[in-house]
Amino acid sequence: MSYVFKPGPLPMGLFGVCTLGALVLSMNPGCTPRAQTVTLDVPVHHPVSVARAELEPGSSKVTAIDVPFGGGAYRYKDKDLAVLQEMLDETNPMPAAIGESFRIHVLIRRFLVSYHQSEAVGIACVAWALTNPGDELIFDETFYAAHYTPNKGVNGVKKPIHRGITKRVHTATQSVASGLPPGPPPTSVYADYESAAAAIPDELGQILVVSFGRGGVERGVEYVGETGEEFARCGDSIDWYYRLSIPRPAEEPSGTPPVPTEVEPPP
């Protein structure tokens, strides 16, 4: 950890107070983002319903790097999940009732937010499954969503991650329901942890912290800290048959006929 001191007091008149206020507001890591509709880029032919998205227990973590405020307040919580749910519902291109539609099931397994002032990264492990109108499991996958912003705070990473999750799920649903492959992942979505982690910095910092001193505001310490992104890695898979209480398909008989046993003829 290295410290770089750069003295440079600022006047604290009316203009100085306004400038400081703007600076503090710009450093606010953000709050829960509002839902947005996502545009899909595949043909829509199949009715869809969206089950309630879920957040796995212990799945959320915040790494606050050299920040004297925030921390747990910016953890991914139920209200963030509600925003994702609204985005999934609003983006649904052909809503339909259960039993008459393909049904989407989304589980947030990990969600790490790391920030230093207004600089932030987010990385999430997402598992989801698709059932057909007959309540049969026809597709499931685990992917990672990640985003970095140099100046928009925590809110600036949650929004793109929500958009990436929503677009991936709805686009793949229409493709799989048509008997096609799910297609390539959209922006901010990655097939594995290594690809997602490589897309974001593993350290944040390089932003000067202001300190309040007598007679003005002094520029303070330049700090670099690790994001702790390894927390987002999912090491196991989801048993969707068990989770959704869906009967497992019967094992298909082997296509190889049994080998006949030679019987010696009677003497």
Residue 227: per-residue pLDDT: 57
Residue 32: per-residue pLDDT: 54
- Taking the chain (267 residues) in runs of 10, the rounded mean pLDDT of each run is 30 32 36 64 93 93 69 83 96 94 97 82 94 96 92 85 96 96 94 90 55 39 53 90 92 55 59
Fold classification of 30-204+228-243 is: Rossmann fold (3.40.50)
Residue 259: per-residue pLDDT: 57
What is this structure's pTM? Answer: 0.73
**Spatial CA neighbour of 208 closest among 1, 2, 5:** 5
* DSSP letter (8 states) at residue 188: T
Residue 35: per-residue pLDDT: 54
Q: Where are the domains of the chain?
A: 30-204+228-243
Q: Which residues is 86 bridged to in the sheet? A: none
